[in-house]
Amino acid sequence: MIHTLEGHTAELSCSQFDYTGEYCITGSIDRTCILWDVTSGKPIETFRGHNDEVLDVCFNNTGSKLATASADGNGRIYNVFTGACTSILLGHEGEISKICFNPQGSKIMTAGSDKTCRLWSVDTGAELQRLEGHEDEIFSCSFNYEGDTIITGSKDNTCRIWKDQEIMKSAAKGKAKLPEEKKE
């Protein structure tokens, strides 16, 4: 064993290394995430802002951004270097159990208890697309290495594979929805 990382005040729910392996992030039921220096085992930054437990964490492909998913129904994107929250991903009607960046780092995907998987702009935090069709909570989602295919896994005992062209075709058929413009 190299280190025991101590700093959260409740049980940990998730952890991930950045691409270099020099840093890792942990998420906890204490509603925080901690960025750690793997070599020293010391905490670098504590990220706050969620109102319920953090269920998932991930880094983008360069390690400059991290994202968090929470039982409060929100996702958050943080700048790793400044610690600032750059976007709050609002729209799920229940907890978000999974969050991940596409390989290019331009989109983020969330999966939730509201039976939807959503794609968001990393730069603006705007919802880009909503994938619907599962009959129960979605616990898992990921992009392929090219970023043009998505897989989602649900409590309904199914996985669905979505190809980029199919996402747009599904939107036309009402199975994948583009977000509606908000009325002020």
136-153 pLDDT, tens digit per residue, is 999 999 999 999 999 999
Q: Quick one: pLDDT band at residue 86, thresholds 50, 70, 90? A: very high
- The pTM score is 0.86
- 12-173 architecture in CATH? 7 Propeller (2.130)
Condensed to tens digits (0 to 9), the pLDDT of residues 53-64 reads 999 999 999 999
- Residues 107-120: pLDDT tens digits? 999 999 999 999 99
Answer whether residue 129 shows pLDDT above 70. Answer: yes
Residue 183 has pLDDT above 50, yes or no: no
Instruction: Provide the residue ranges of all domains of the chain, joining segments of one domain with +.
Output: 12-173
- Please say if the pLDDT value at position 169 is more than 90: no
Residue 89 pLDDT greater than 90, yes or no: yes
Number of neighbouring beta carbons within 10 Å of residue 144: 13
